[in-house]
A = this chain, B = another copy of it.
Amino acid sequence: MKWKRSERLVDMTQYMIEHPHKLIPLTYFASLYQSAKSSISEDLTIIKETFEERGRGLLITVPGAAGGVKFIPTMTSEDVNEIAQSLIEQLSKADRLLPGGYLYMTDLLGNPSLMNKVGKIFASSFAHEKIDAIMTVATKGISIAHAIARHLNVPVVVVRRDSKVTEGPTVSINYVSGSARRIQTMVLSKRSMEKGQRVLITDDFMKVGGTINGMKNLLEEFNCELAGIAVLVEADHEGEQLVDEYLSLIKLREVNEKDGTIVLTEGNYFEKGGNNDESSNNN
């Protein structure tokens, strides 16, 4: 079957969006569509220009025999702003307040469309870093970790509180949970990482940073390197902060259980210019 340009554009767009950060040889498309490589190159120029004009992603062309094209998802700062504002609005509702000043966020973490956006925000921030895996701790960070991982095309590694038979041999460490200063344990399957990997740590919530710090210690046990830390919500608190280099999308400034008020602002993503990408929405 001979493909028309319009059909190729639709099919290639779908393929590239479903395979981010994957180098696709031009010959793959040429043989799939039975088209000349020159036509495929022209198609890719149209796709590239459309993606970049709208700030939806970059199309990187790698020349040479082992070359091809790679789709890097990006977000415009307008989109990131909109998502952060919507999160602040949703998280500010008084009925989210739980005893102890915690916020109910489980519904947001279970919303796949929202998580997809959050994952894309952080994936854009780390798009130009070498990342081999995303690490999080069970349970609530898993949806964010998978969303980031999908946009970076790398595996997710889930640290657990307890060892299970289905994990095989594990490495276990003790760490001090931040605010309560309790000794806790975290375990990770020995098979889950290889020496020398660069790992992005993520979680839904960070206060003092005890859990994140525990994961950092675990990385050392595996002789892996920290590539970055990304949290959805960080909470202001008194006393020492255990983690210094991190990116947060939202900041919880104040919780007043008595009045039921919750004060949230933008996280340090907006100070640090978390969006590495130069393209912006030009229309």
The answer to whether B46 and A7 have CB atoms under 8 Å apart is yes
The answer to whether A165 and B106 have CB atoms under 8 Å apart is no
What is the minimal beta-carbon distance from A3 to any residue of chain B, in angstroms? 9
The answer to whether B142 and A191 have CB atoms under 8 Å apart is no
Assess whether A239 is interfacial by the CB under 8 Å rule: no
Contact with B along A254-283 (1 / 0, CB 8 A): 000000000000000000000000000011
Which one of A56, A115, A116, A139 has the highest number of Cβ atoms from chain B below 10 Å of its Cβ? A139
What is the minimal beta-carbon distance from A138 to any residue of chain B, in angstroms? 4
Contact with B along A101-113 (1 / 0, CB 8 A): 0111111001111
User: Which one of A151-159, A209-217, A224-232, A242-250 is at the B interface?
Assistant: A151-159
Assess whether A77 is interfacial by the CB under 8 Å rule: no
Copies in the complex: 2
Assess whether A98 is interfacial by the CB under 8 Å rule: yes
Known contacts: A10-B46, A107-B192, A113-B19. The answer to whether A158 contacts B139 by CB under 8 A is: yes
The answer to whether A168 and B6 have CB atoms under 8 Å apart is no
Q: List 24 A-B contacts (CB under 8 A).
A: A1-B282, A1-B283, A6-B50, A7-B53, A9-B13, A10-B13, A10-B51, A13-B17, A17-B17, A18-B116, A19-B113, A103-B166, A104-B166, A106-B167, A110-B157, A112-B150, A112-B156, A113-B150, A138-B139, A139-B158, A139-B160, A142-B143, A142-B146, A143-B146
Interface residues of A (CB under 8 A from B): 1, 5-7, 9-11, 13-14, 17-19, 46-47, 49-51, 53-54, 56, 98-100, 102-107, 110-113, 115-116, 138-140, 142-143, 146-147, 149-150, 153-158, 160, 165-168, 189, 191-192, 205, 282-283
Other contacts beyond A106-B166, A139-B139: 15, CB < 8 A? A1-B282, A5-B6, A10-B13, A10-B50, A11-B50, A11-B56, A13-B14, A14-B17, A17-B17, A18-B116, A104-B189, A106-B158, A112-B153, A116-B150, A143-B156
